[in-house]
Amino acid sequence: MQVDNSEAPDDLFTPRSVAVIGASAEANAVTARPLRYLKAHGFRGSLFAVNPRHRRIDDVACYASVAELPERPDVAMIGVSAARLESAVADCAAAGVPLVCIFTAAVDDDTRERILAVAKRGGTRILGPNSLGFIDAHRDVVCTYSQVALLDRIPRGGLSIISQSGGLGGCLLNRAVDSGIGIARLLTPGVGLDIDVAELIEGAAISPATRAVALILESAGDGARFVRAVEKLHAAGKRLVVWRIGGSESGRAAAVSHTGALAGDERVFASLCRDLGVLQAGSQDELLEVAAACTALRPPAGKSVGIVSSSGGAAIMVADALEAARLSIPAPSAATMAKLRDTLPATASISNPLDVGAGQGPQIFRTGLAAMLSDPAFDCVVLALTMVAGEQAEQVVPEVIRSIEGASHPAAVVWPAGSLAASWRQQLRENGIAVFERPEFAASALRLLQLKPHAIATDPGAASAIAADTRSMIAGMAGVQSEWSVRRLLDLYGIQSPPETLAQTCEQAVAAARRIGFPVALKVQSPLVPHRARIGALELGLADEQAVAESYSRLLSALEPRYREKLDGILVQAMVKPEYEVFVGVVCDRAFGPVIACGRGGGQVEQEQAIEFMLPTLDPAMAASWLERREFSARIGTAGIASMADLIVRLSQLVIDLGPALVELDVNPVALVDGGSRALALDALAVIAALADTAPAPREDLPSGVAR
């Protein structure tokens, strides 16, 4: 076989020749489908089958091996057993096949490593294993065994679907076609051994046909690479909507720190999505409708929405959804109000929403829409239809299309009716109009389109000059670390705390309090007591020497013997009156590595919604920008944002220097004082690497509570 790389395809998913290795002549076999589907959908390139037992399959020439093919295929679809897979990939690599798409599912780790090595040596890329293949609707390429290819036609459009679950990807494509949504591509990476989700997103960024991506995701894989891929997609003016399935909660149950307990894969991912400007859909329906709308709907300039409806109830429903998404519904301008009063019937409710009334003909819809679409008070207009069907729909829909096509404002249609509206919704979509069956999905799309994605630090930075000292310090610190132990780490990085001393005796505690100045707090220091409040292992506001002495005795006598065995001492700490309390922590995420948590501190850390996550950064401006977008930023002010940004940068350097040795960290609360210009760590807790596998005590010994 002659190898000619001069005729390489435009990219891996636009082949001009396809071979099916392991093709079957049995009509019901999975490996009989790809040839049949490619032919049925009008593939215009060369087709080959590879199976030594046949001469022809489905009227396609069949060859005994890849080496015997008359030309090098651009894509080889492999559907052989796991035992024969390595040999099949090696044959393709030897022949210079650019892409192999592996259907085979039950492939063990050793086999995966071998086929990846073989493919890399030959310059062959792998989609799979356990991939359903791919579809390029614009090129009539249907390289799949999914029965979604039984569809008579796949309409061409701007929506690309990337799905780690091949089955769900096929379902989404089927629903899209039924709804009249045009498709650019369907891509299923399977296990992502070589070509992963991030690379497919990067490909969508440069795909001329793709205008938006609907992603069904199980795992982000390399989190930093995923972030960079999304940023490339956005830089190309395209949007990503993701439906994440299988978010893990296992990490939360085993976590010792608040950060670990509050994180979990899903919370970290959701927080980063918000900063990236990615909408995380809550269902397959939302994923489809919002992503499809992003291919048709121009981004609104702002959050002001005008509503036109044929039903008061529909208008209220849409208004509720828009307000819940924090979009605004201002009144029309005086000029628009006057125009509407002059031209609409007296039964119309002239305001925003504008209710033209049920049963109206095309002229009324045209007049109402035109007035709202030209009003500078609005950035976008939503038309809410209800039971507009039959002859009325036949008259109204063409006017709606004409009105929206020529409008200066972007517009969308919400039409929640059932089968009587289905064909009309499809007609609107085929004319490039964003259509929703549920108003909350319209609100999601409008919110997404006016979001501005923010930069995320995917390159954490270099280790500092004191990294070796830091690693040396923690050499004997495996497991849960008490506040006093963590203090030494924080001190190295200039993270301040109130005046404090560790006391081993009552006399030392009293002397320390006298030096520090009253009032003081006393805190039991033991790795077995990471959270002290709920078991009475701390006392606050001690105003004199007698109070300190009595408190010291009470704390010791109240401790169970098992806690006393690992008692570092009792910390004497100056009382601080915070102007605002902030929580900061670190946890290691499976996909994104170390992430920093931040939110309202003290007792409010128990409110999970108050905590957001970011990747470590050594850029104070990036940290400050991130803080400014948090809800609590207005309360801590400019000075508080600056001091917290400085603390996040210092903590990020600690994270970089320690690497995977730092499993979890809480600094809670951080007290902002002096008008927010100083940030003081009032308490701290850390988990060093060994605790990743074994906890230091049974769960009842690790009561959850506010670390103070």
3-state per-residue secondary structure call for 149-170? HHCCCCCEEEEEEEECCHHHHH
Q: Strand pairing partners for 382?
A: 307, 412
Q: What is the mean pLDDT of the chain?
A: 89
Fold of the CATH domain 499-575:
Dna Ligase; domain 1 (3.30.1490)
**Over the stretch 254-311, which tens digit does the pLDDT of each residue have?**
444 444 444 456 888 999 999 999 999 999 999 999 999 999 999 999 999 999 998 8
1-132 shares its CATH topology with 499-575: no
Percent of the chain surpassing pLDDT 70? 92
Domain boundaries, the chain: 1-132, 146-297, 300-449, 455-498+577-708, 499-575
Query: Domain 1-132 - what CATH class?
Result: alpha beta
119-128, 129-138, 356-365, 548-557, range with the lowest pLDDT: 356-365
Query: Domain 146-297 - what CATH class?
Result: alpha beta
> Higher confidence at residue 529 or residue 470?
470
Contact between 621 and 608 (Cβ < 8 Å): no
pLDDT band for position 550 (cuts 50, 70, 90): very high
What is residue 461's three-state secondary structure? coil
Res 603: pLDDT: 64
Res 704: pLDDT: 28
**Helices 223-235, 197-206: crossing angle, 10 deg rounding:** 10
What is the average per-residue pLDDT within 137-144?
96
Closest to 103 (Cα-Cα) out of 129, 124, 126: 129
pLDDT band for position 703 (cuts 50, 70, 90): very low
557-561, 671-675, 699-703, range with the lowest pLDDT: 699-703
Percent of the chain surpassing pLDDT 90? 73
Write phi, then psi, for 598 (nearest 5 degrees): -155, 145
How far is it, in rounded angstroms, from Cα 93 to Cα 116?
10
Q: Are strands 60-63 and 99-102 parallel, antiparallel or unpaired?
A: unpaired
pLDDT band for position 249 (cuts 50, 70, 90): low
Asked if the model's pLDDT at residue 427 lies above 80, the reply is yes
Res 346: pLDDT: 78
Fold of the CATH domain 455-498+577-708:
D-amino Acid Aminotransferase; Chain A, domain 1 (3.30.470)
Asked if the model's pLDDT at residue 349 lies above 90, the reply is no
> What six digits make up the tokens of 400?
């709606």
Closest to 236 (Cα-Cα) out of 201, 276, 205: 205
What's the CATH superfamily of 300-449?
Succinyl-CoA synthetase domains (3.40.50.261)
> Sign (positive/negative) of CA torsion 482, 487, 493, 498?
positive
Residue that the structure tokens 């790795």 belong to: 527
Res 604: pLDDT: 55
Res 253: pLDDT: 45
Asked if the model's pLDDT at residue 52 lies above 80, the reply is yes
Give the distance from CA 699 to its chain's centroid.
Answer: 31
Q: Which helix (H) or strand (E) holds 391?
A: helix 390-405
What is the average per-residue pLDDT within 497-524?
96
Asked if the model's pLDDT at residue 8 lies above 70, the reply is no
Name the DSSP letter for residue 299.
Answer: P
How far is it, in rounded angstroms, from Cα 349 to Cα 328?
19
